Amino acid sequence: MFENNDNLLQFKPKYPHTLPQDWKDSDNPTIYEINATLDTLKKMYAEQVKDIAKGLISTEKGEDKLRNIATNYQAIKSILFPPR
């Protein structure tokens, strides 16, 4: 059933770091690229929260980075779910 088939694409995920500059066609990203980017932004947000909690970055600078990540997340998500 699972024979070698040359028509199958090789799965090469770029997790955990896929951002818009990694998209093959920036004007027409695939669903996979969008979802991978959303997951990357979620991970970046969580890492930033941890850095703020540990005191590795100032609260003001950390919150500014969190706002930027959240803004980018909403912009990418709007590709999948355009406003009505």
The answer to whether the CB of 26 falls within 8 A of the CB of 65 is no
**Token pair 């406003």 in the structure block, residue:** 83
pLDDT-derived band at 22 (thresholds 50, 70, 90) equals confident
pTM, two decimal places: 0.75
Instruction: Indicate whether 52 pLDDT > 90.
Output: yes
Q: Where are the domains of the chain?
A: 29-80
- The mean pLDDT of the chain is 84
